[in-house]
Structures are given as C-alpha cells and as structure tokens.
Amino acid sequence: MSADNKKGLAKAHEIYSNRGKYAREQKNQGKKIFGYFCCYPPIELLTALDIIPVRILGDMEQPITLADNCLPPVMCIFCRSAFDIGMKGQYDYFDGFVGAHACDGAERTSIIWSNYIKTPCNFHLDIPHTTHDAAVEFFKEQLEYFQKELEKSIGREITPDKLRSAIAAHNHQRALVRQIYELRKLDPPLITGTEMLTVLIATMGMSVQEGNLLIEEVLQEIKQRENVQEKKSRLLIWGSLIDNAAFTELIESSGLNIVIEDTAIGTRPYWHDIRDTKDPLLGIAEHYLKEVLCPRTFRDSGKNYEQDSEQRFSYLKDFAKYWKVDGVFANIIRNCDIHGYEVPVIKDYLNGLGIPVLVIEQDYSTASLESLRTRFQAFAETIAS
C-alpha cells in the first residue's frame, strides 16, 4: 500500500520507512527536490520556489563502505554515513544540494560532497558562529546569495509575498509540531518518542503543505487516544540527533518514555517561529542564528560559569519542569565535538537541578545498539527509585 492510501501515523511510518521512494514519486510528478544538511539551511527559500526540501540523513543500518575512500574514519560517523549513502546513489533524485557550515563535520562533508556527488544546483551556506548584529547581517547577505542561486537554478524569482507565504507555512508547521509536544506533557504521553521521530522525519521529506496535512492528521489521531502506553520514567534526550526508530524503540522498551528531544530532529528546528520582518530575509537570518539552539553557535559568555550555563541551558530547565522530566539522556554520536565538549557542563547544570543524566557515546550503528539496553534499563531503574 502506498503512502497515499494511508493517513496520520501510518502514513508517517510509511514515508519514514521509504523516504527515497516517496521523494522519487514526487519527482516523477514534476517536483524539484533539494537535499539539505542539518537544520540550518532556511528551507523557507526552497518552499518559496515550490522545491521540496529533503533533509539529508545517514543510515544506521548500513555499513559505511564507499565513504572510507573520501572521509577519514576518525570523522563524525553520522556525516560519514550520510555521505556514504549519497555515494551509493541513494540521494540520486536530488536536483540540488544545500550544504551548510553547521559544524565542522557538516561543513567539510558538504564541501567534499560537491566534489563527488554532482547535482544541477549546489550551494554551500556559510553560517557565522556568533549572534552579534554583524553576524546576523553577514548571514542575511549569504542568504541573499543563496536565494539568487536558487532563482537562477529554477528560472523563477522569489517575490517577497511568496517568501512570506512560505515562512507562514513553515511557522504553521512549527506550531503544529509544538502542539504534538503539548500532548507529550501528559502522563503517559499520547504519542511515543518513536512515533514522534517517524512523524518528524517523514515531514522532513515532504512539501510543507503535505507535511502540515500529515501533522494535522496525526494530531487528530492521537487526541483520540487513551493510555497508548504505560506510565514510565520520563526522559528528555539532549545532544546529537537520532534518525532511526530502532534507537528510540530500544530506549522506550527499556523502561522509559521519551517526552521531549532537544536535538536537530526534535525541538530545535521547531521551537520558535520566524518573525515577520520588513525584509523577510532578516527574520530568517535572526531565527536560524539566534533561535535554533544547537551548541554550534557561540553565545557570548556570562559573567561566570554559573551565569554562562544558565544563559545557555535555562530552556532545558523549562523543558524539565513542564514535561515533568525524570532524567536526561545525553546522546553523543562518537566524534561529535559540538556536543562532546558540553558533556561535563550539561551534567553540572542538570545535576544542579536534581536531574540525573545518562551520557552515552554511541557508534551510529543499529548493530551496536542492543549492547546499550542494559545501560538504559539501569538508568530507568535508578531514576524510578
């Protein structure tokens, strides 16, 4: 049965399981498909040109083979995996590729990608590291270049109205995702972490309009639910992204309910709306630089360690409070420096709030997942007691 014949969670699962097939079907219908790295390229610009933005992910189930010739094994395994499946032709439906200087791994992979995997349009978006006014201005200028390259590639201009309408559609999607998060405040939550992951990944391969319809169906479906899962300790996931449901299933079958994720496939792309500014690109630049809270962006340090931690992580305190979090899983994909440096800092901060933290560095492979089960079970038992 194709995704068209399904609705809500079943449809999300179908698309999540067959991202390439779904994207190819869209392409066969005459749609343009662009791949993009991480949650920093503003997909609103793609939507404004009726391009479907497909988030580039890796595949925890596939061994890395072809990437070894181009990226060293010491590199972030997620980036290597994404590049590997790109080299294997699994993203051969891209009409364009948008790389981004999100972190070192994403930046170098994006640039190296352009050498080996050719697409009709290719743009590398440089992203500043700070949130100063000059950085916002610089980022906005880079977005202007990005916009021009897209327009050249598609042969149409993005009018301010078109861009505003794309921003509105994506803001609507952000609001819908936040509505699902609201339903996870309940105990037990009305949607599992695994279901949430499949919904988010599915929408990251669809047009924003289709994605919004899907989320509305999901919302309608889960609101009807009663006690879809048993009460368990409530877990917040912080850190590197998780893009495979096998991982969340393992966690949730180890005595934990995932209630919120501060990751790049979680709250980060959805938590804040893009402001309506006179120049829409300014609103976009400010949003992506200031409000996507990945630790890759340096925010000016506070007066001391405590104040600095508070400035950078107080939103986690709110998540913990309102989602009644019992414990935090700090997920580090091995060799992810951006999150790796934060480990003792985030532990200091969360432990200071009385929240236990489980830190696991993992190898982004489903083959090595099962060995983590006992650690999650032990953590669940610890926080339950």
Partner 1 sequence: MEKDNSVKTMKSAKTLKTAREAGYFGKKMLTDAIKAQEEGHPIGWSMVSWWQGDFIAKAMGMHLVYPENYGAFCAAVRQAEPYLEIADSEGFPNNLCGYARNCLGFAKCLRDNNYVIPEGAPGGGLARPVLMLASGCACDARYKWFQSLGRYLNDVPVWNLEMPQTGVKEYYLPGNKEKNLRFIVAELREFVKFMENLLKKKLDYDKLHAMLDQALKTLNLAWQVDLLRRAVPSPMVSQDFWSVMIPHFYLPDDPEAYSFYERVYAEVKEKVDNGIGAIPNEKYRMMFSELPPWHSIGFFDELAKRYGIAMVMESWNYHAPTPMAEEELHGINDPLEIIARLTYHKWMEHNTVAREFDTAPGFFNAAYLRWAQEYKADGFFAHPLLSCRPATYTLMHTRNSLEEKLKVPGVVVPGDIIDLRVFNSDEGFSKVEAFVETMDHYRELRKEAGMAW
Q: Which of 273, 291, 361, 363 binds partner 1 (CB under 8 A)?
A: 361
- Compose the 312-351 pattern: x for residues touching partner 1 by CB under 8 A, - for all others: --------------------x-xx-xx-xxxxxx-xx---
Q: How far is CA 38 from CA 75, 102, 127, 294, 313, in A?
A: 16, 7, 12, 10, 21
Contact residue for partner 1 among 92, 159, 305, 371 (CB under 8 A) = 305
Q: How many residues bind partner 1 (CB under 8 A)?
A: 60
> Min. distance of Cβ 295 from partner 1 in angstroms?
7
- Please give the C-alpha separations between residue 152 and each of 13, 35, 111, 120, 139, in angstroms, as whole numbers: 35, 17, 21, 11, 20
- Phi, psi angles (nearest 5°) of residue 108: -70, -40
Helices (H), 36-116: 43-47, 77-87, 104-116
Least distance (Å) between residue 191 CB and partner 1:
32
Return the axis-axis angle of helices 193-203 and 160-183, rounded to nearest 10°: 170
Cβ–Cβ < 8 Å for 41, 98: yes
Name which position in 17, 62, 90, 130 contacts partner 1 (CB under 8 A).
Answer: 130
Whole-number Å distance between alpha carbons of 355 and 319: 12
| CB 270, min distance to partner 1, A | 24
For residues 260 and 265, give the distance between their C-alpha atoms in angstroms, rounded to a whole number.
Answer: 11
Map residues 53-82 to x or -, x wherever contact with partner 1 holds by CB under 8 A: ---------------xxxxxxxxx------
* SS3 at position 75: coil
Asked if 134 interacts with partner 1 (CB under 8 A), we say yes
Task: Report in angstroms the alpha-carbon separations of 233 from 60, 102, 383.
Answer: 26, 33, 7
Q: Does residue 278 touch partner 1 according to CB under 8 A?
A: no
Instruction: State in angstroms the smallest separation of the CB of 378 from partner 1.
Output: 18
Residue 84 sits in the site that holds partner 1 (CB under 8 A): no
235 within 8 A of 326, measured Cβ to Cβ: yes
Q: Is 35 in the site for partner 1 (CB under 8 A)?
A: no
**11, 32, 124, 268: residue in contact with partner 1 (rule CB under 8 A):** 124
Separation of alpha carbons 1 and 174, rounded Å: 29
End-to-end CA distance of the chain: 45
d(CA 238, CA 332): 9
Q: Indicate whether 109 belongs to the interface with partner 1 (CB under 8 A).
A: yes
| Bridge pairing between strands 357-362 and 327-333 | parallel
363 counts as binding partner 1 under rule CB under 8 A: no
Q: Is there binding between residue 290 and partner 1 (CB under 8 A)? A: no
Residue 257, phi then psi, degrees to nearest 5: -105, 125
Residue 157, interface with partner 1 (CB under 8 A)? no
Choices 10-18, 114-122, 239-247, 254-262 (CB under 8 A): range interacting with partner 1: 114-122
- At residue 235, φ and ψ (nearest 5 deg) are -115, 135
Which range in 5-13, 101-109, 174-182, 317-325 contacts partner 1 by CB under 8 A?
Answer: 101-109
The binder of partner 1 chosen from 26, 47, 119, 122 (CB under 8 A): 122
- 3-class secondary structure, 268: coil
Q: Which of 156, 223, 298, 314 binds partner 1 (CB under 8 A)?
A: 298
**Nearest Cα to Cα of residue 36 among 22, 52, 49, 25:** 52
User: Among residues 120 and 344, whose Cβ is nearest to partner 1?
Assistant: 344
Q: Candidates 115, 224, 227, 385: give the one binding partner 1 (CB under 8 A).
A: 115
Among 105, 189, 280, 327, binds partner 1 (CB under 8 A): 105
Say which amino acid occupies 378: A
Instruction: Write out the residues near partner 1 by the rule CB under 8 A.
Output: 68-76, 99, 101, 103-105, 107-109, 111-112, 114-115, 122-124, 126, 128-130, 132, 134-135, 137-138, 141-142, 145, 295-296, 298, 301, 303-305, 308-309, 332, 334-335, 337-338, 340-345, 347-348, 359, 361
